Structure 1
Amino acid sequence: MGRLIRWLIVFPLLGLLLYVGHPFLLRAMGRYLITEDRLQKAEAIVVLAGDGGVARTLEAVRLYQDGYAPRIILTHQRLPKGYEALARLGITVPEERDVQWMILKAMRIPANVVLQVNERADSTESEMAYLARLLKQHRIGTVILVTDRSHSTRANKILVRVSGGKVAIISRPTRYDTFDPEGWWRSRADAKEVLMEYEKLFNYLLQSMGVGVTGWLKDESHPAVPVEATF
């Protein structure tokens, strides 16, 4: 019901904006979703989960190979629907993290430079909370944040919030993402991304006015382990 109410608010507002300001506002909407900072060296490269494990991981590999950071951090997402049912049938299907390790190994990334977040996040908010705790425990204060283009603004805002502004963030959308902020409304896939991101941004705004997710940082369980034996 809450999701329906948010959509009933967001859609009319978007419709009004599009009617009044098309196409200038359409382009502005697409551009706003992208936050890309000037690249500089950091303490770690963070790969956010959620793209199937390919484009974001490959971007992190390129950044690592170019010497922008000595470590790579992988967050974790919940299993896709039906995955456990397949497992019960004895069918093994690689999940996102398996794909990431395949890429890291193929690109000859040393296993001992990688940290994993163990908790499976069910949202960007929980993902960033687990990540912020990892960064605090490992005393990492500067990160390059790798995600999709349309996800980069929201991801950046949430990490700033849950880390209390104590982490310097260099936002780096993957170069392998084809999202086009200048003509997103011409692509069904891009249009879906924009609508979903604005709905989630609206939800984030509501959450930021209520109880934050920073309380999760008080959890004492260790969220990450080195993965020397992963390969």
Structure 2
Amino acid sequence: MIGKLIRWLIVFPLLGLLLYLGHPFLLRAMGRYLVTEDRLQKADAIVVLAGDGGVGRTLEAVRLYQDGYAPRVILTHQRLPKGYDALVRLGVTVPEERNIQWMVLKAMRVPAGVVLQVDERADSTAGEMAYLAPFLREHRIDTVILVTDRSHSTRATKILARAAGGRIGIFSRPTRYDTFDPERWWHSRNDAKEVLLEYGKLLDYLMQSVNPGFSGLFKGGSSSAVPAERTF
């Protein structure tokens, strides 16, 4: 009995020391896993996922288009923000994300004829991909460059691959205008919130992969943990 106690008294401090010394490596690994950035290759289209307010991801797509990586740009569509309908009834005009995306595209002289739009509004990344996958098949698009935020890129790539049944070539390209730092995310309150929410949503994704009837804990990104435009 005393021997076991002595062993535990030795083991616990050693475990604590290992965790203390190793936690930066574990935290960095957590941040890095969320970021999927493939080597850029030419594709049939650049897909801009909704959910960042319409600027950073769209501007990344513009740069890729201007550099000749794809001849078309595809915009997905998200739900209207809460209270938007009330503003409309009051006669107040506020541009939604799709309008802002078009403002960026026009300002950067991207021809309107190269832009395709998914009309259905999604309330989650899974819903977004459920509309996007058949849209790509309908337009005979076999390869895409997927543009989203850095911390969202791994989950988005996995969900699109599943929705497309592995029939679409996906090159993940997080926007260069996203400030998320996978190497030091725990030093930033906003980055830490993103990481926690993303791992929660990854858990949802895994649960839904195993049990399609599982409705999810983070459906629609309604958590108040991060700003609304970053909860898609």
TM-score (norm 1): 0.83
Distance 2:100 2:178 in 1: 17
Query: Are residues 1:164 and 2:165 paired?
Result: yes
Q: What percent of counterpart residues are identical? A: 79
Distance 2:121 2:74 in 1: 14
Q: Post-superposition shift, 1:210? A: 1.9
**Aligned residue type for 1:52:** G
Distance 2:50 2:183 in 1: 26
Larger relative contact order (CA 8 Å, sep ≥ 6): 1
Match of 1:229 in 2: none
Q: Post-superposition shift, 1:156? A: 0.3
Indicate the RMSD between aligned Cα atoms, in angstroms.
1.6
Match of 1:45 in 2: 46
Q: Post-superposition shift, 1:212? A: 7.8
Distance 1:208 1:117 in 2: 25
Q: Judging changes above 3 Å, is the alpha-carbon distance between structure 1 residues 212 and 76 closer, same or farther for their aligned structure 2 residues?
A: farther
Distance 1:143 1:212 in 2: 29
Q: How does 1:175-186 map to 2 (within 5 A)?
A: 175-186=176-187
Q: Post-superposition shift, 1:20? A: 8.3
Q: How does 1:1-150 map to 2 (within 5 A)?
A: 21-150=22-151
Map Cα deviations across residues 32-80 of structure 1 (whole Å, 9 max, x no partner): 0000000010000000000000000000000000000000000000000
Q: How does 1:202-221 map to 2 (within 5 A)?
A: 202-211=203-212
Map Cα deviations across residues 174-199 of structure 1 (whole Å, 9 max, x no partner): 00001000000000010010000000
**Aligned residue type for 2:34:** L
Give unpaired runs (5+ residues) of structure 1. Answer: 1-17, 214-231
Match of 1:220 in 2: none
Give the number of aligned pairs: 197
TM-score (norm 2): 0.82
SS of the equivalent of 1:145 reads strand
Distance 1:126 1:20 in 2: 41
Distance 1:21 1:196 in 2: 23
